[in-house]
Amino acid sequence: MGFKEIIDKIKERRDAKKELLRNADEQMRVQKIIEDRQKSSNERELERFMKEEREEQIRERLDFYRKERDEDIKFGHNPLDTKNITNHTDWEVLKEKNQFAGKGNIFSNHGSTLKDNKSILKNNLKLISSKYKL
């Protein structure tokens, strides 16, 4: 059995299932039409109003549950309560001694890379002079 035969069998099964569903759907429609014709006009109208009312209740409940889920997604998760390095752990950074207290600034004794650099100064002057037309 080749690949094409397998694909054809799958297609046949799918088409058979679609045809079966079509027939069942058509049969249900015919049965509903027959039932509706047996009812009085007042009974059909009452059922229509009851169906509309039921649909409205379903819509309201659905809106409520959608809003509830949306609120839970937006505000239900509090990131402050999550386990991280600042709380809820064995090693808490905020309770440790400051490692950098009492130490000097390592950059205070070093010269600036921009200070006394003639090439950068010249480039900057060229940029300034072309920008402002000195």
Query: pLDDT tens across 58-71, in order?
Result: 999 999 999 999 99
Using CA of residue 87, residue 93, residue 97, residue 103, what is the dihedral sign?
A: negative
Quick one: tokens of 29? Answer: 């429609």
pTM of the model: 0.45
d(CA 83, CA 90): 11
Domain ranges in the chain are 1-38, 40-76
**Which two tokens mark 78?**
């509090």
CA distance 5 to 12: 10
Average pLDDT of the chain is 81
CB 85 within 8 A of CB 93: yes
Q: Would you state the pLDDT for residue 134?
A: 46
Q: Residue 86: CB partners within 8 Å, gap ≥ 6?
A: 92, 93, 94
Tokens of 4: 């094409």
Which pLDDT score, from 0 to 100, does residue 121 have?
58
Q: Mark the ranges of the chain whose per-residue pLDDT is less than 70.
A: 1, 78-94, 110-134
Q: What is the pLDDT of residue 108?
A: 72
